[in-house]
Amino acid sequence: MRLVLVGTSHHHAPVELRERVAFGKDEARAIAERLGSAVCLSTCNRTELYVETEDVEDAERRCVEILAELEPALYRLHDQAAALHLFRVAAGLDSLVPGEGEILGQVRAAHEAGTGGRLLDRVFRHALHAGRKVRAQTAIGESPASVSSAAAALAEQVFGDLAGCTVLLVGAGKVSDQASRNLRSRGAHIAFVADSKTDRARIEEELARADVVVSSTSAPGYVLDAPTVERARSGRRLLLVDLAVPRDLDPAIHELAGCYLYDIDDLEAIVAETLAGHRSEAERAEAIVAHEADKFHEWQASLDVVPAIASLRARAEEIREEELAKAEGFLERLDESQRRAVESITAQIVNKLLHLPTIRLKQAAAAADGVIYADAVRHLFGLGEDDD
């Protein structure tokens, strides 16, 4: 069984492309069901399809059909490379904000909504373990930079001093709460928080008084368009930060006089500046993730030889029982303790004979020779020939 990953992220596609394949929970679950044994991981920064399959080319083709709009920006990874990528994602090492903790919950939710079999279940559980291990053994997640803190830093760069600066928050979720705390800590005044129940007239009213707008809803279309902003602002200076994917704010707003619009991709440079001190922790985290990926690779590789090992042991046990049956005339003269001793001795002989071949088969699997060794064992011991 093979592991296939097809997807894109903020490293490969700008937000105007990523928003086209930003799937909600129900859509992600439906996609996983459509692909068969699969998991769909869709966040602000990435959309990735993980598939457990026997046919790599067919799985890739079906994934590309779903993500066709982003085909030039898609990456394709298999087996160990796909697992390593997922482990880095779960550990927060592939995020726009390295070390951010929210991704671990998103990976868990995607796994729970998926339709994966044994291989996918194993790789996602291992990824979650790797993510938790990185957080426990490194400081990469301590006071990490975030897009919300980057938004506040950007506002401070534009206005110099945020004391007395009026902020309109559009969206009432976790990202909005984080933005509110970061802006308040820098002296800004949160004048109003609009949610899905706030009517458009009230938002326009607050927009007319705001110096900064930070938007982070899950709306499928634009929450604010250029004509609305132009009507409310009349040329007054306004900083707008769009943290949503799909985007909340019409890109045309940036063309309006006095309006400065930034989306989530624009914040990457600000985030990078704040992460310089985390490099040593990131290196430690990368080492942990690489080690965990190697362990998963060994497990996956062993799947190629496990059937051969099981068949070999079953054949050896069958021979042992046949030989004991032939000696039944002698064995029936033994008392119960003596019969148990014979059973134990013959079982130990089988186990000791097969111990080293079993270890060597597993070692060969980890070195990519497992299939060759497994085939050799089947041939030498005639395993499966009776079935044929």
pLDDT of 370 reads 61
pLDDT of 85 reads 97
CA distance 299 to 79: 11
Q: Considering the domain boundaries, does residue 388 fall inside one?
A: no
CA distance 139 to 129: 16
Same domain assignment for residues 312 and 333: yes
Amino acid of residue 120: L
Same domain assignment for residues 153 and 167: yes
Instruction: Give 134's DSSP letter.
Output: H
pLDDT of 348 reads 94
At which of 274, 290, 321 does a domain end?
274
pLDDT of 388 reads 47
Same domain assignment for residues 131 and 76: yes
Instruction: Give 139's DSSP letter.
Output: S
Dihedrals phi, psi of 229, to nearest 5 degrees: -65, -40
CA distance 73 to 166: 39
Same domain assignment for residues 16 and 131: yes
CA distance 188 to 119: 49
- Look up 44 and say whether it is catalytic: yes
Q: Out of 40, 44, 63, 259, which one is annotated catalytic?
A: 44
Q: Considering the domain boundaries, does residue 74 fall inside one?
A: yes
Q: Considering the domain boundaries, does residue 255 fall inside one?
A: yes
pLDDT of 306 reads 74
Cβ-proximal residues to 104 (8 Å cutoff; 6+ apart), any chain:
90, 92, 128, 131, 132, 135
* Rg of the chain taking only CA atoms, in angstroms: 29
Tokens in use for 42? 């869709």
> Dihedral of the CA atoms 75, 40, 131, 241 (nearest 10)?
80
Same domain assignment for residues 214 and 328: no
Residue 86: half-sphere exposure toward Cβ, Cα within 13 Å: 40
Domain total for the chain? 3
Residues 125 and 50 sit within 8 Å (Cβ to Cβ): no
Residue with tokens 């310089």: 276
Q: Considering the domain boundaries, does residue 386 fall inside one?
A: no
Q: Considering the domain boundaries, does residue 165 fall inside one?
A: yes
Same domain assignment for residues 10 and 137: yes
State the CATH number of the domain containing residue 46: 3.30.460.30
Residues 51 and 32 sit within 8 Å (Cβ to Cβ): no
Cβ atoms within 10 Å of 172's Cβ, excluding its own: 17
Q: Considering the domain boundaries, does residue 387 fall inside one?
A: no
In the chain, alpha helices (H)? 15-18, 25-35, 56-66, 79-90, 102-113, 118-137, 147-159, 174-185, 200-209, 226-233, 268-274, 279-302, 306-326, 328-331, 336-366, 370-381
CA distance 103 to 133: 14
Structural domain that includes position 103: 2-142+279-301
Same domain assignment for residues 157 and 112: no
pLDDT of 144 reads 53
Same domain assignment for residues 225 and 332: no
Same domain assignment for residues 294 and 259: no
Residue with tokens 């097809």: 6
Dihedrals phi, psi of 288, to nearest 5 degrees: -65, -45
Residues 268 and 246 sit within 8 Å (Cβ to Cβ): no
pLDDT digits (tens, 9 = 90+) for 144-156: 567 788 888 888 8
Cβ atoms within 10 Å of 199's Cβ, excluding its own: 9
Q: Considering the domain boundaries, does residue 361 fall inside one?
A: yes
Residue with tokens 């949160």: 190
pLDDT digits (tens, 9 = 90+) for 231-263: 988 778 899 999 999 999 999 999 998 999 999
Tokens in use for 82? 């796909």
CA distance 95 to 103: 8
Write out residues in the chain with pLDDT < 50, as ranges: 388
Q: Which of 78, 46, 41, 74 is nearest to 59 (CA)?
A: 78
Q: Considering the domain boundaries, does residue 212 fall inside one?
A: yes
Q: Which of 207, 164, 210, 169 is nearest to 186 (CA)?
A: 164
Cβ-proximal residues to 247 (8 Å cutoff; 6+ apart), any chain:
15, 16, 19, 222, 263
pLDDT of 4 reads 97
Q: Which of 295, 290, 297 is nearest to 368 (CA)?
A: 297
Same domain assignment for residues 126 and 162: no
State the CATH number of the domain containing residue 165: 3.40.50.720
Same domain assignment for residues 153 and 196: yes
Same domain assignment for residues 258 and 184: yes
pLDDT of 280 reads 77
